[in-house]
Each structure stands twice: as C-alpha cells, then as structure tokens.
Amino acid sequence: MSQKQLTTVNPLTEEVLATYAYMSDDEAAAVVKASHEAHLQWRLRSLDERAQVIGAIAKTLAERKEEFAQLMTREVGKLIADSRSEVDLCVGICEYTASQGPKVLADEEREVEGATGIVTHSAIGVVYGIQPWNFPAYQAIRYSIASLMAGNGVLLKHAESCTGSGLLLRDIYESAGLPKGLFGVLLISHEQSNAIVENDLVRAVTLTGSEAAGRTVAAKAGEALKKTVLELGSNDAYVVLDDADLDLAVETCVKGRLFNNGQTCVNDKRFVVTTKNYDAFVSAYAKKFEAIRMGDPNDADTQLGPMVSKAQRDKLHEQVTKSVQQGARLLVGGEIPDRTGWFYPATVLADVAPGQVAYEDELFGPAAAIIRAKDDEDAMRIANDSRYGLGGGIFSRDVKRARELATQYFDTGMVGINSFGVASPTLPFGGVKASGYGREHGPEGLKEFVNVKSIKIPKAS
C-alpha cells in the first residue's frame, strides 16, 4: 500500500475533510483489469438490459440527491442550490440515456448491391476518464453513462478535491445494479495516470480540464493510437448587439458569469458589447455585481461561495491584477477579502482589450471581462478572436438574424441566443480549436466510444 495520500479540504473552513491513500501501481492495474473483465460480460447484455440498469441509477441518484449535494458543497464550495441542480441534471442524463440509448445504438440495415448491409454499434472496451473538480457528479456521469450504455467498462480518475464524490458515485452505480468492478475509481497520481493511458486494456481516453492537460493526454494517447475526446478550457464570448434587450442581457450575463462560483468551462466570460450599448451595459452590470452577497454556500441567501482552492483563488487574483496593469479598468471587486475561506469577490473589468490577460486567457472564477465593439460586425469578429471555441451567446431582438449569426459565423461548438445554459442531455456538448474535440450528450455523445461495425450478408441468388 502506498504511503502517499490524497486530501480533500472544505473551501469554506479550510479544514481537512478526508484523506485517502494513493493506489500502488499494481492496485491501479488491478482496477483496470477488473473493469475489462466485467465489460466482457456487460457487453453481452442487450441494450434494453443495460438501459434498465441505467434507469435504476437515475432513481438511486434521485433518492440520494441530498447526500450527494451536501458532499459536493463540502468538497468544492458549490452553492447548495447548484449542487442540487447538478444532481437533477445527472438524473436527467441517465433518464435520457435509458430511454434513447437502445434506439440510438440499435443495429441499422442498409441496402447494398447484391447484399444486405448491417451497421452495428459495438462496445470498444475500457474507457478512461480524467475529470475535474468543478462538477463532481456531472463531469463523471457525462461520459460514463454513455460509455456504459454502449457496453464499455469505465475508469474514473477524479480531481483530488472531490475524491469522495467519485467514490460515492461508484457506490451509487453498484447499489443500483451495475456489475461490481465495471466502473472503477482510480486514486492515482498524474505520473501513474500515464501508465493507465498506455495500458493495453484501455481503449479510449476522455479528459475535461486545461488546455495544457489536454495536449499532454492527447499526445500520450496518440502514441498508443487510442481515441480521445477532450473538453478543455474556454473564454466564452457573449455578444450584446445593437438591438439587444439590455435588461435581459445584463441579467443573463450576471447569472452566467457567476454560476457555479464562476468556475465553469461554459460560463460567459467575455462580454462583447457594441458602442451603442456599452456604457449602459457596463454601468448596470457593475451595479449588480457590487450587490452580490458572498458567504457560506449552505445559506440560501448566499449568491457567491468560495473558490475551490487557495491556488485557484490566487491565480485568478494574479490575472485580474495583471489585466489592470495592462490597461483594463477595475470597477468592482479585485481584492482578496480578509476572512477564512478561499473567497474572491464578484469582479468587473471594463475596457478589456487585445494583449491583456483578461482578453486572451480564461478567467476561471467570478471575474468578468467587458470589451467594446464598434458595431455588430465588429462584435462577431471579437467573439471569434480567441484560440478557444467552446460556447458563446448572442443577445438580439431579431432572433432569426441571431440564429443566422450563430449558425454561420460563431466559431464555437455551442451558442445560446438570449439565454445562458450549461448543458442539456439531448444536445451535443463540446468545442473546437483549443477547447478540444469530440462531443458528449445527445445521439452524438452516445456514439463517441463505440465500434461502428459493418456487416454484409449476400442475398440468396
């Protein structure tokens, strides 16, 4: 048994919650082998049988919602209402997969000359997921439920901050009837993770995390010729056009920036506002941010909880400080409060411009970057002026035109029109450029980790 330990810490109190021993290399390899062996039997179950187990997982999640929500809030500082809604989303993903999975993954027959063609969606084997801390339940469920529906085995290396959530999810899966060992949780280091990627029993790798982590994992998996799905960082732009409903835009952009304490890949982060609306938007936005109540995430009236760790908080503060030094105008926040807990206030930066940290890089926390655009055309140009391309949004009273801009011009994987949303079980989730590749959710996500196999049967002469 390894003597190293993983530690979870409450971001509100800065007190240690639990410690867990790292697995030895042999122990980790045994988890991989157990998942593979369980998969060999699981893949033989019919789609309907797998769907029944996933439906049971949905029910078990719903029954243990409060337990899971409380644990997430303790481990990562999420507002308790956000933790509860996260479990609700996970239940929805399981329900969607149970109802639609058998249809999406069913065999298809196609006519070919002189034969009948059959396309099947077979399991590929063990899928290894490396997941972050910001959505302890959702991040793990998002890829694992689709992979399990396809007949695969699944491994999870969760972030250290939410180790307990990963273990609780395994217990929920197994108590709902998932074969023991099919979903394996790995308590391992980054160095040990490389060996998991290289393990011959692992057939695919998915990661949600930083751009740097994505490049490293993709390179390692590429050496082994293993498929990857990557959901990486982003700097989502929400564009406020000349004809936008300004009140709606301000209200939605405030909520979208602070959701999950501002620590979400698809938070709206850059606000690109045309000159016509710029001053009014900046004034109204700053006023709302100034009134945000920061405090205990368990209190119903708290609007902003602590960040997940001191390191994350300090990194954000450094980015804000440097942006101001580079010419951004600080309107609200920007100072670390003198209190217990890893808090950072709701912060507004205006006059953000190219070359500033807030323009070029992702601010992963409750700090907003507001950018002036000359007109609608310039706003769309600025929105796409990023190495990232996960999500984004458009505010306009002309929904038909906004849809056209979203379809033809927005260089991202997802676009919201006059709205902000995190994810839907029915719609594909993912990005382009440095935000990664591949899709989760919807029929597209269900087919990411399958062997699309062709079978041809000659017709009788």
Query: Catalytic positions, please?
Result: 231, 265
CB–CB of 218/241 below 8 Å? no
CB–CB of 151/43 below 8 Å? yes
Sign, CA dihedral 86-73-231-176, equals negative
DSSP 350: E
End-to-end CA distance of the chain: 65
Q: Cα(183)–Cα(170) distance, rounded to whole angstroms? A: 7
Beta strands in 189-226 (DSSP E): 202-208
Q: How many CB atoms lie within 10 A of CB 434?
A: 19
Instruction: Specify the long-range contacts of residues 316-321, CB closer than 8 Å, at least 24 apart.
Output: 316/344, 316/363, 316/364, 316/365, 316/367, 317/344, 319/357, 319/358, 319/361, 319/363, 319/367, 320/347, 320/349, 320/358, 320/363, 320/367
Query: Which residues, including other chains, have CB under 8 Å from residue 335's CB and lie 6 or more apart?
Result: 345
Rg for the chain (alpha carbons), in Å? 23
Q: Which two tokens stand for residue 114?
A: 């002189």
Q: Which of 355, 326, 359, 357 has its CA nearest to residue 237?
A: 359
Q: Cα(368)–Cα(251) distance, rounded to whole angstroms? A: 13
Q: Cα(292)–Cα(72) distance, rounded to whole angstroms? A: 22
